[in-house]
Amino acid sequence: MNRRVARKHNVIAIVVIALAIAPIVFIVSLYWPDGAYKRLLCETDHQALLATCRKIMKQGGLTVGSRYFDMSQFPRIIRKLDPTVVWISDYNFLCIGIRAGMSHIGVYAYPEDFKAPYEKFKYGDKELIPGLWYFDEDYYLNPDYDKRIEKLLKRRK
């Protein structure tokens, strides 16, 4: 009888611990960035990505302002980024949005002949190569963020 009670207490203890840990794991997973930064900044050939984005823009077929969530129609270099959305902005440049923890990061790819639509137009947060700009909604929340991005870019393959 005592063994049965002891087992029951062990099971209850395990369940209580699991229920206590589960919310912590969930919250950390929301804020802990996955490999999105590494995929985009370290592992992606930025020249090839820009060329692919420019080819997509030249071919047409994507509606300005429309957001595309089905990634199967996009080339492999874009799908490898595991984007959540791709769209053509109202100013005719291609945007690739990626979820990274609670942040949204990505790139803006500009056509070769792109002209800023107004004087203080913001291309993005950091130019990766001419015509391809990185964006991150948390970029200016931390004054050392640029150093973090530079460090990741130096780890490029």
Q: Return the pLDDT at 125.
A: 93
In the chain, where are the structural domains located? 1-32, 34-154
- Beta strand 132-136 with 126-129 is antiparallel
Q: Which of 121, 38, 80 is nearest to 108 (CA)?
A: 121
Q: Return the pLDDT at 28.
A: 40
Q: In the predicted model, what is the mean pLDDT of the chain? A: 85
pLDDT band at 7 (very low <50, low <70, confident <90, very high): confident
Phi, psi of 72 (to 5 degrees): -60, -25
Burial of 134 (0-12, 13-18, 19+ CB in 10 A): buried
pLDDT tens digits along 101-128: 778 999 999 999 999 999 999 999 999 9
Q: Read off the pTM.
A: 0.77
- Beta strand 67-68 with 85-88 is antiparallel
pLDDT tens digits along 18-39: 566 555 544 444 444 558 999 9
Residue 93: pLDDT over 80:
yes
